[in-house]
Amino acid sequence: MAAPLPREVDIVVIGAGAAGIAAARRIAAAGRSVVVIEAAPRIGGRCRTDPALFGVPFDRGAHALYNPDGNPLVKLARGNGFDIAPATASQKIRIGRRNARAGEAEDFLTALVRANRAIDEAARGKADVACAAALPNDLGDWAATVDFVLGPSVTGKELRDLSAMDRARMQERGAAIVCRQGLGALLTRLGGGIPISLGTPATRVAWSNRDVAVDTPAGKIVARAAIVTVSTHVLASGRIAFAPDLPKRQFDAASGLGLGSYDRIALQMDGNPLGLGRDENIIERSKDARTALLVANLGGSSLCTVDVAGKFGADLSAQGEDAMVAFAREWLGGLFGSDAVAKIERSLATRWNADALIGGAMSAATPGAEGGRRLLGEPFGNVFIAGEATHETLYGTVEGAWASGEHAADAALKKIGPAKPPPPQKKPRAKKRHAH
């Protein structure tokens, strides 16, 4: 810690990811005292930028912002001197060693639209069902690809494990943009000036309708309210003890919003052996779940990522980094040939499921848990929960996490009421003058 942990503040924020930083900035702007405690040795949560390994900033986790016109992070990034640029929308489909022909790509888009409509239609029913149960049975050769694009590549979960109602509420992720210096670097900048104590996990939260006490290895913090922004995995695992216990409504909601699996296998390649454009996306017509998404030439560099997700991605990650890189080589070789794979100079694989402080990628509602996001965000006592999992339409995004942090801060500030004005200063008595 850079400074001693305060023993008393107006509001304590647990977690220094996007939601925690947004909440703390809002509280500080309102003139109230705040401290953020973070178990990890860094700011950012699931936004983490590696600036050095590949010679260009590499986002290990979240790497895109969406809907720039109404996204406050875009304005904040530009105002802090960060380079914001549209992500190339170009996407190609490979069928073996060739690109899909125009008619084949059209068939895929038709299958994708039909599947989306079927999920939306199922979401209007009285009972929540799995997305997979709603799919048409005649998607043919595109069935596995549709499953990957609508499920793992967006939510980290298979369609059979996803709530149709929750999936249908997902706001369109339109106009993707990237921060060239990295989203992790942006959040670190936005956290500047906020009291943040790194390497300081919350071990216990004692709460009531009057105040909150948070135990840490560095001591106890007493506050009038707490904002908890840890992942649903951490909440449901009991890593933080609550006294009284975390209410059953919130515990069940967190359990039904478990984290999906999404990892990036980064490959630095000499030149451009794949012959692809800047930030170009490639998927394949796959036969099964053993597939991936290729993002080529990030920011015009020689860095590419092979992104794996869902159950296949989770199983692969559990085998370790070597197995992940071996799969990426094999998969790329099958699409572009062994000569391209020979150009790989350096590699790295993320393994978010193995990070005990987070435990996965983005939250995904299981069938029947469609109302969990609203329930999870309901305050109890003077405790408020925030994070991407509590946003009903922008879940799984950095802007959704940011918005939830601001919302929780506003609610907490309202709950604790306005700051008490300082006691009036007594005017000094004027000295009496004596006549001589």
Q: Give 82-107 pLDDT, tens digit per residue.
A: 999 888 767 899 999 999 999 999 99
Are 285 and 292 within 8 A, CB to CB? no
Nearest to 279 by CA among 152, 91, 145: 91
User: What is the pLDDT at residue 436?
Assistant: 46
Give CA torsion, residues 138, 139, 140, 144, to 10 deg: -140
Low-confidence ranges of the chain (pLDDT < 70): 1-3, 89, 420-436
Domains defined for the chain, CATH in brackets: 8-43+191-258+358-416 (3.50.50.60), 90-175+260-354 (3.90.660.10)
User: What is the pLDDT at residue 300?
Assistant: 87
Alpha-carbon gap, residue 26 to 229, rounded angstroms: 15
Alpha-carbon gap, residue 103 to 25, rounded angstroms: 51
Give CA torsion, residues 23, 26, 30, 33, to 10 deg: 40
Burial 52-75 (b: 16+ CB within 10 A, else e): eebebbbbbbbbbbbbbeebebbe
What tens digit of pLDDT does each residue of 187-204 get? 999 999 999 999 999 999
Q: Is 128 left (phi over 0), alpha (psi -120 to 50) or beta?
A: beta
Are 358 and 352 within 8 A, CB to CB? yes
Work out the percent of the chain whose per-residue pLDDT is above 90: 86
| β pairing state of 241-243 and 204-207 | parallel
